[in-house]
Amino acid sequence: MVEETTDKNKVWDVVMIGAGPASLAAAVYTTREDIETVLFEKGAIGGLAAVTDWVDNYPGFPKGISGLDLSANLQAQAERFGAKIELGEVSKIEDKGDYKLLQTTEGEYKAKAILIATGSDYKKIGVPGEAEFYARGVHYCATCDGAFYRDKKLVVVGGGNSAAQESLFLTKFATHIDLLVRSTFKASDILQKEVKQNPKITIHIGTTTDEIVGKDGKVTKVIGTDTASGKKVEFPTDGVFVFVGLSPNTEFLAGSSIELDNIGLIKTSMNDLQTNMPGVFVAGDVHSGATMQIASAVGEGATAALHIREYLEGKPHPIQN
């Protein structure tokens, strides 16, 4: 934890918003060069990587590695070089010329440079019952909550890689899974093959999720529509896991001058990951054009750190949109 939070005049070299793979990797680079670095994280250290069951495509781990272990390793490495991690939330960034002022749940922070690496969060489907039964039968993280459904029936909503991967993971616990795919099954061929071959999973193509129904505080069924016939269909279930994509964590930038793209991701220059606010850099899934892969987030974090060093040395690259 940061010890200097009461020092109102302290100006950090860099404040990183978010403590996922991108910022943890960046912190390894900045702290090794004696750039004083503090990271703010409002949720889990490691971000979505920390709640990913298994990572098979991260270079250097031929047998794969759990998301939790990968995140813990990144954290330990960053902290070994002196990175400080503060559990808190940033609500506003202001450009004060010589420094940036951040409004946080731990008070005001000043920084010469900022790295925004807030990543993304799970999208909601916005149907009746979703909010009412959140964490009481409706979930967005199979690794976190799957074990609660041992020997139970489940519904999984989604048709991409995440829905397929998490459905396969949930078969460790559930007796049966109904996978509701609204339009087309978009998961990779290898994942589709695994899902189709798993006897515990039934795929329902062209099935919407219209309502999540419960009784006495527990989910009992999902009501949907078969789009081919137009008829209502029901799926008795003990729980619902929703995997329909991600939305960027950029709400705190509302009203700021930092430019976002049409879906809320942060725009940067082509050559140095710097935003239109000088001294504010971006890396990872929240970056416009991001590939949404842990390996590329780590790479962007390292790249951003090198450009932050140049900025602090007074040699920033010009902004090129």
Task: Give residue-wise pLDDT tens across range 157-204.
Answer: 999 999 999 999 999 999 999 999 999 999 999 999 999 999 999 999
Confidence of residue 121 (pLDDT cuts 50, 70, 90): confident
Task: Give residue-wise pLDDT tens across range 226-249.
Answer: 999 999 999 999 999 999 988 899
Task: Give residue-wise pLDDT tens across range 287-314.
Answer: 998 888 899 999 999 999 999 999 999 9
Which percentage of the chain shows pLDDT scores above 90? 83
Task: Give residue-wise pLDDT tens across range 18-37.
Answer: 999 999 999 999 999 999 99
Judge if 11-121+246-312 and 138-242 fold alike in CATH terms. Answer: yes
Distance of CA 264 to CAs 40, 246, 254, 288, 308, Å?
20, 11, 10, 8, 23
Confidence of residue 7 (pLDDT cuts 50, 70, 90): low
pLDDT at position 316 over 60: no
pTM to 2 decimal places: 0.76
pLDDT at position 4 over 70: no
pLDDT at position 223 over 90: yes
Pairing, β 107-116 against β 239-242: unpaired
- Told to judge if 144 belongs to the known catalytic residues of this protein, a careful annotator would answer yes
Domain ranges of the chain: 11-121+246-312, 138-242
- Told to judge if 69 belongs to the known catalytic residues of this protein, a careful annotator would answer no
Confidence of residue 1 (pLDDT cuts 50, 70, 90): very low
User: Per-residue pLDDT averaged across 271-286, rounded?
Assistant: 95
User: Fold for domain 138-242?
Assistant: FAD/NAD(P)-binding domain (3.50.50)
Per-residue confidence (pLDDT) for residue 24, from 0 to 100: 98
Per-residue confidence (pLDDT) for residue 8, from 0 to 100: 62
- Cβ contact 24:39 at 8 Å: yes
pLDDT at position 320 over 70: no
- Cβ contact 38:102 at 8 Å: no
**Active-site entry in 69, 144, 210, 226:** 144
The whole-angstrom separation of Cα 101 and Cα 11 is: 9
Displacement of CA 14 from its chain's centroid (Å): 22
**Active-site entry in 141, 238, 272, 285:** 141
Say whether 85 sits in a helix, a strand or coil: strand
Mean pLDDT of the chain: 92
- Cβ contact 298:75 at 8 Å: no
Q: At what angle do helices 21-32 and 294-312 cross, to 10 degrees?
A: 40
Which percentage of the chain shows pLDDT scores above 70? 95
- Told to judge if 216 belongs to the known catalytic residues of this protein, a careful annotator would answer no
Bridge partners of residue 120, in order along the sequence: 248
pLDDT at position 285 over 60: yes
CATH class of segment(s) 11-121+246-312: alpha beta
Higher pLDDT, 199 or 7: 199
pLDDT at position 2 over 70: no
